[in-house]
Amino acid sequence: MKKYLLITFLNLILIVSAIAQNQHDDQDSTMRNIQRNSFYIELGGNGVIISINYERIVPLGTKTGLGFRIGAGTAGSADTAIAYTGLVEINFLFGKSKHYLETGIGFTNAFTVNDTEQLCSIRLGYRYQGEKGFLFKIAPMYIYNFEKLKGNHDVFGGIWLGASFGYSF
């Protein structure tokens, strides 16, 4: 009987130790330990063709955070050769470790020689942020062009896709 109690007691100690170690690992992979600064290039997305971006993440809890983004890029247009874009976005992140669901709303100004267009984007995507700094994001988004309010329905807008690659630190 004493032998069975000793085996049960030792197993209990091992199980508690394993659970405590697992909880410790979960604490290490929370949003509070995420690398908060990121530089990345986005193809498509808010910048329309290509943009260079900086983002800062502010953790809100163990699995949630806010991302604040600013960027600049270039976009082609049917009537002009090149448009320059400036963009801002706020994102909500949910997840842990390296994998996050990312939602956000952003505003883009596209400047050409003759005109300026304002775009609003709503994003729902996936974010991978590795421990050594690699960053990958992909997101479908809806882009609304405010020129449609002026009756110009031949302007860019609708469903769009963005893919980003960069470095977090």
Q: What is the mean pLDDT of residues 9-19?
A: 53
Task: Please give the pLDDT value at position 23.
Answer: 46
Task: List Cβ neighbours of 135 (8 Å cut-off, separation of 6 or more).
Answer: 38, 40, 127, 128, 129, 164, 165, 166, 167, 168
Task: Please give the pLDDT value at position 47.
Answer: 84
Q: What is the mean pLDDT of residues 120-124?
A: 94
What pTM does this model have?
0.75
Contact (CB, 8 A) for 97 and 63: no
Least confident of 5-19, 101-115, 137-151: 5-19
Q: What is the mean pLDDT of residues 13-33?
A: 55
Q: Domains in the chain and their CATH numbers?
A: 34-168 (2.40.160.20)
CA distance 103 to 122: 8
What integer best gives the mean pLDDT of the chain?
82
**Three-class DSSP category at 169:** coil
Q: Which two tokens stand for residue 4?
A: 């069975």
DSSP 118-159: EEEEEEEEEEEE-TTSEEEEEEEEEEEEGGGGGT--SSS-EE
